[in-house]
Amino acid sequence: MFKDLSPNLKSSITRSITQTFEQYMSNIEWSEEKFSIDDFIANWREYITTKALWYSKIPEDMKQDPAFHENLAQRINEVIARVLGEPPSDDQIASIQMMQEQLNTHYEYHCKAEAVFVETLLKKYLGL
């Protein structure tokens, strides 16, 4: 069912998953202990029903179809895996390393999105 949607609609759904996941992870400070797939899904559901313009373009019968929800769950898993698998850039690594040396901190980060969070946090500590 997901594959039957227009490319623009699929892209919007993917973007909403990515943005909501990165925001959720930032809100829990990228803590594995605080992560809950149920909480993330609740955040995503709230986002799509209150802010996502694409949600109203999906027919109601499709929204009710269990196969569509299975397709969405699969897409969510793919997007999360992609976000977690994207390595930090060399510029991010260098920037974070420099700030950590200044602040004498040792934050770990494992993907590009988490590096954005750490970089933002360190800049805040440095007053930048």
**72 shares its domain with 109:** no
Structure confidence by residue, pLDDT tens digits, 88-99: 999 999 999 999
Report the candidate in 72, 128, 57 with the shortest Cα–Cα distance to residue 98: 128
**56 shares its domain with 113:** no
**12 shares its domain with 47:** yes
For 3-26, what is the HEC assignment?
HHCCHHHHHHHHHHHHHHHHHHHH
Instruction: Domain count for the chain, please give it.
Output: 2
Question: Which domain does 45 fall in, by range?
Answer: 2-85
**77 shares its domain with 98:** no
Q: Where are the beta strands (DSSP E) in 7-128?
A: none
**62 shares its domain with 95:** no
**79 shares its domain with 101:** no
Structure confidence by residue, pLDDT tens digits, 57-87: 998 999 999 999 999 999 999 999 999 999 9
